[in-house]
Amino acid sequence: AQRVTQPEKLLSVFKGAPVELKCNYSYSGSPELFWYVQYSRQRLQLLLRHISRESIKGFTADLNKGETSFHLKKPFAQEEDSAMYYCALQTGANNLFFGTGTRLTVIP
């Protein structure tokens, strides 16, 4: 069965420090993975997707099929990065499974 695990509910880092939000998945097929973000008082929105291999707001995420991971990384955290982050796995045309989320707090 498909599953997305985000082991950290809360993560605090100092401004300027590197940040890594962990995501592991379980899926027998070919995964498509995403990171969604929800800033305070804003709607949930897509941050990045693995197939695009893009860097958004300084964040990157690499799909590691051997470790079944899709960790989100940023070398220098900013205060505006404080938000709720969800990892998501798309398994079919219309099925997305979300992890339980990690609340990131960047301390000034």
Closest residue by Cα to residue 59 from 19, 13, 89: 19
Determine if 32 is a binding residue for other proteins (CB under 8 A).
yes
Q: Which of 36, 59, 61, 74 binds other proteins (CB under 8 A)?
A: 36
What is the C-alpha separation between 41 and 43, in angstroms, rounded? Answer: 7
Residue 79, classed as helix, strand or coil, is helix
Q: Which of 43, 66, 67, 108 binds other proteins (CB under 8 A)?
A: 43
Q: Which of 12, 26, 45, 55 binds other proteins (CB under 8 A)?
A: 45
Determine if 8 is a binding residue for other proteins (CB under 8 A).
no
For 23, counting Cβ atoms within 10 Å of its Cβ (0-12 exposed, 13-18 middle, 19+ buried), the class is buried
Determine if 34 is a binding residue for other proteins (CB under 8 A).
yes
DSSP state of 59: B
Binding site for other proteins (CB under 8 A): 6, 9, 32, 34, 36, 43-46, 49, 86, 90, 93-94, 96-101
